[in-house]
Amino acid sequence: MNRKNLLFVFAALVVIMSSGCRSTFPKPSIVVSLIPAPPATLEVGLSTPLSATVTGDTQNGGVDWTVTCANANCGSFTPAHTASGATTVYTAPTTPTTVTITAASTASTNGASATAMITIGAVAAASSLSGQYAFNLSGFDSTGALYVAAGSVTLDGMGNVTAGEEDLNDSSQVATFFDNTLTGTYTVGPDGRGSMTLTVTGGTQTLSFAVVNNNHALIEEFDASLTSAGSLDLQTTTAASALTGGYAFYIGGSVGGVPYVEAGVTSADGAGNFTSTGTVDYDNGGTVTTGQSLTGSLAGPTIDASGRGVLTFGSNTFAIYVIGPEVFRIIDTDTTSFTAAGSAYGQGSGAGGFSAASLTGPFVFNVKGISVAGDNEQVGLVTTDGVSGVAGVIDYNQMGVTPPAPPAPDTITAGSYTVATNGYGSATLPVTGNANILTFGVYVTDPTLNLSDPNNTTGGTGSALFVELDPASTGHGILAPQTSTAAAAGNNSINLDGDLAVGPADAVGQVVSDGSASFSGSVDANELGSGQLSGVPLTGAFTADATNAGRYTGTLNLNGAVVPYGFVFYQANSGLALHILEDPLNVASGVIETQQ
């Protein structure tokens, strides 16, 4: 055999051996796995981390992420391409749908991929609000006069207000009406933002709201003539006999245009009477009177089907709307220069046995009212020793007073407090940079009661009403135990109530928070000086205070403003944060409540 033939045989053997190798050792196939499995459900607007592992990919090409659904917007990925095993973040669309998530191997030539379906659900719907709800509002009319309102609406879960009753007291006496009947309609969007139109004497009344849960919503008046903020809460009873035991209460407003607040403790006998063991404090335009006795009774003492009763305290007459055995709203119904409203909260089994030890630990507080030159907004964090000492930090914004410049708050040092056995107490809180803030009334409530959301037993509990009793400034708020310092992530309802540069203004809506640095969403903003703005964007950026746990500072941007507001909030628990604007021209405050 010559050399040429040998070469031919050798080449043939190489081909045969190569073919045998390919058939004996096949190229590994590519497999994509979603690990861990994506959630089966996700609320609109929320985000979830996803990861996929690719095996058999010798090129290490990674994963391409896509999503499909029946809607135009199916959500998005950040990033849309990841390495094998790395994480992307999927953000759900703002409308309910069912989406198909696909993780595909970038290197695959035969479509290797893994899929999963996620149902995108609404935060709330019209059916979320079904039953009888009491509401309360406090704000201003188009003339700048204070007005307050309280009432009850029956909602059928299908968008109809089938019955209702309302008292509205305007200090200008332009829009005042008492014991008025209500009917109307309401809508609820998938993010929990909604609108209610009520037929009232002389026309219609429009409310905007943001659902927190089936029992509670934040609300505002959304009319050209009135703006205000308040809440809507499920009524669990309307019986006068349910009102028994100790109560802490406040009533705030004005007398003849002069700022006014009263607060104290009392007790009810279940037959419509409030006993002479009550103790009350007053601040009338800077004239402070403390430790006064208080008696009262329910006229009748009947309470009607709307939960409305008539209450007499001293020479004043009020309407009350019962939410449950431990909570009722209060509104003055005198056709005089007195315009005020408030709430009463039960003291539970602790009534008669309170002491300074009843308030021990860290507490977040807020105050909303009037200072010498205008609005008075405060939030802060104090720690009590259970004996008499208290210290902490405070952020405030008062008309005519330069607020502390974030990120540093003012300090409260060498403070003191007392609590009597009936829950009546006081606190002296010296503020480093503001001599107008010093004296407070403290009125202890049932420690298992949520003062912001009375029917909610899982979103954090309360401990006391908190009222400022200084000659130069007054206001009311709550003292809530701080049980969590982490900014709440996910879907949240938010409101903003105060006096912006354009005049009296309120906003209520919904935001999605990442829990670490930012949130964004939409609100209905009612600015009497510039009109009603529906569904405008609201964004916030914040940074945790490294020194004061649960305090966050940053900026708040409403409707794309060129210059955002300074913004501070204190996290009280997993479901509640209290906030204010820190801006020399805009004074406002509010709450952030986690939607459940």
pLDDT digits (tens, 9 = 90+) for 381-416: 999 999 999 999 999 998 767 777 778 899 999 999
Tokens of 222: 């959304």
pLDDT digits (tens, 9 = 90+) for 338-358: 899 999 999 998 889 999 999
pLDDT digits (tens, 9 = 90+) for 512-547: 999 999 999 999 999 988 899 999 999 999 999 999
The answer to whether 518 touches 534, Cβ cutoff 8 Å, is no
Distance, in Å, from the CA atom of 578 to the CA atom of 121, rounded to the nearest integer, reads 28
pLDDT attached to residue 221: 97
The answer to whether 424 touches 443, Cβ cutoff 8 Å, is yes
Q: Which residue has the tokens 């959500």?
A: 75
CB-based burial label for 306 (10 Å; 0-12, 13-18, 19+): buried
pLDDT digits (tens, 9 = 90+) for 49-77: 999 999 999 999 999 999 999 999 999 99
Q: Tell which residue, 346, 87, 398, 43, has the closest CA to residue 211.
A: 43
The answer to whether 139 touches 62, Cβ cutoff 8 Å, is no
Q: Tell whether the model's pLDDT for residue 25 goes beyond 80.
A: no
pLDDT digits (tens, 9 = 90+) for 424-459: 999 999 999 899 899 999 999 999 999 999 999 776
Q: What is the mean pLDDT of residues 303-332?
A: 93
Max CA pair span of the chain:
131
- pLDDT tier for residue 174 given thresholds of 50, 70 and 90: low
Express as a percent the part of the chain with pLDDT over 90.
Answer: 76
Q: Tell whether the model's pLDDT for residue 6 goes beyond 60.
A: no
pLDDT digits (tens, 9 = 90+) for 177-229: 889 999 999 999 999 999 999 998 878 999 999 999 999 999 999 999 999 99
Distance, in Å, from the CA atom of 564 to the CA atom of 577, rounded to the nearest integer, reads 20
The answer to whether 444 touches 463, Cβ cutoff 8 Å, is yes
pLDDT attached to residue 215: 97
- Per-domain boundaries in the chain: 31-121
For residue 420, give Cα distances in angstroms to 376, 443, 573, 575: 28, 9, 27, 30
Mean of per-residue pLDDT scores for the chain: 91
Distance, in Å, from the CA atom of 515 to the CA atom of 94, rounded to the nearest integer, reads 19
Distance, in Å, from the CA atom of 164 to the CA atom of 239, rounded to the nearest integer, reads 17
For residue 464, give Cα distances in angstroms to 228, 499, 586, 593: 24, 26, 28, 19
Q: Tell whether the model's pLDDT for residue 11 goes beyond 60.
A: no
pLDDT attached to residue 13: 32
Distance, in Å, from the CA atom of 209 to the CA atom of 226, rounded to the nearest integer, reads 15
More confident residue, 6 or 27: 27
What is the fold of 31-121? Immunoglobulin-like (2.60.40)
**pTM for this model (two decimals):** 0.92
Distance, in Å, from the CA atom of 511 to the CA atom of 45, rounded to the nearest integer, reads 9
- pLDDT tier for residue 22 given thresholds of 50, 70 and 90: very low
pLDDT digits (tens, 9 = 90+) for 540-552: 999 999 999 999 9
Q: Residue 92 in 3-state DSSP?
A: coil
Q: What is the mean pLDDT of residues 359-375?
A: 90
Distance, in Å, from the CA atom of 175 to the CA atom of 152, rounded to the nearest integer, reads 18
CB-based burial label for 316 (10 Å; 0-12, 13-18, 19+): middle
Each residue of 364-384: b (16+ CB within 10 Å) or e? bbbbbbbbbeebbbbbbbbbb
pLDDT attached to residue 173: 66
pLDDT attached to residue 10: 32
- pLDDT tier for residue 17 given thresholds of 50, 70 and 90: very low
